Chains A and B, each alone.
Chain A
Amino acid sequence: SYVLTQPPSVSVAPGETARITCGGNNIGSKSVHWYQQKPGQAPVLVIYYDSDRPSGIPERFSGSNSGNTATLTISRVEAGDEAGYYCQVWEDRSSDLWVFGGGTKLTVL
């Protein structure tokens, strides 16, 4: 089955830029979606189809996807951005059609 690899943790100081990667074989040929999950809460979609933002998500959140790596970028990081972040793709050649990465814990120093 298709595997998505994320770093377990990323740390960044307030006001800096956080980049969270999601690796997968030729992931650039797929559409990648990103979810934010704060402790005790349900996931929230923050980026869909590689780089689109749902209404209500700040412009500080952006996404890109090329080659074997997709990236979620959070500019001007705030304390409230501290959360887990998960990438996800739909892979019709996998037995499990909807695949999530293992998640990355973003810590704001």
Chain B
Amino acid sequence: EVQLLESGGGLVQPGGSLRLSCAASGFTFNNYAMSWVRQAPGKGLEWVSFISGSGRPTYYADSVKGRFTLSRDNSKKTLYLQMNSLRAEDTAVYYCAKGWEEMATISRVFDIWGQGTMVTVFS
């Protein structure tokens, strides 16, 4: 069974940092691009970042560019999102999502989502 399990969320003050992890199982991890998508409380879905199966390229939403860094360790089947200079508007549930297309540099659709991890930035 394909599964994604996020961890690392929590409470942090503005300007602080957090690192989210997403552990994958049930598929050949390095063959698939991955993304993070977030959802602020009571709001819609917002794409955050993308990484190809090989680790390059990576892409970021304008709202997080320069503050967030996405990486992956294919040997550990794990995705990481390093979040620095956090702001109140970064408060959200963060989902990792698997790209549908195998061996594709760009994956246009997300077919499997984790259950999410909550990040709260408060002062």
Q: In the bound complex, do residue B113 and residue A44 qualify as a contact, i.e. CB atoms below 8 Å apart?
A: yes
Given the contacts A42-B115, A45-B110, A97-B50, A86 and B44 also touching, CB distance less than 8 Å: yes
Please give the distance in Å from B26's CB to the nearest CB on chain A. 15
Neighbouring B residues of A99 by C-beta, 8 Å: 47
- Complex-state Cα separation, A34 to B18, whole angstroms: 30
| B1-48, CB < 8 A from A | 35, 37, 44-47
Interface residues on chain A, size class: 20 to 34
Q: In the bound complex, do residue A100 and residue B46 qualify as a contact, i.e. CB atoms below 8 Å apart?
A: yes
Q: In the bound complex, do residue A98 and residue B50 qualify as a contact, i.e. CB atoms below 8 Å apart?
A: yes
Q: In the bound complex, do residue A45 and residue B44 qualify as a contact, i.e. CB atoms below 8 Å apart?
A: no
Stretch of A20-28, A65-73, A88-96 at the chain-chain interface: A88-96
**Is B103 an interface residue when CB atoms closer than 8 A count as contact?**
no
| A3-43, CB < 8 A from B | 31, 33, 35, 37, 41-43
- Complex-state Cα separation, A33 to B101, whole angstroms: 13
The majority secondary structure among interface residues of chain B is: strand
Please give the distance in Å from B62's CB to the nearest CB on chain A. 5
Q: In the bound complex, do residue B44 and residue A100 qualify as a contact, i.e. CB atoms below 8 Å apart?
A: yes
Interface residues on chain B, size class: 20 to 34
- Complex-state Cα separation, A48 to B95, whole angstroms: 19
Cross-chain contact of B45 among A45, A86, A95 (Cβ < 8 A): A86
| A66-86, CB < 8 A from B | 86
**Is A58 an interface residue when CB atoms closer than 8 A count as contact?**
no
- Complex-state Cα separation, A31 to B107, whole angstroms: 12
15 residue pairs A–B, Cβ–Cβ below 8 Å: A31-B109, A33-B110, A41-B115, A42-B113, A42-B114, A43-B110, A44-B113, A48-B109, A49-B109, A88-B109, A90-B109, A96-B62, A98-B35, A98-B37, A98-B47
- Other 12 A-B pairs with CB < 8 A, given A45-B100, A54-B111, A88-B109: A35-B45, A42-B115, A43-B95, A44-B113, A45-B110, A45-B111, A90-B108, A97-B47, A97-B59, A98-B108, A100-B37, A100-B47
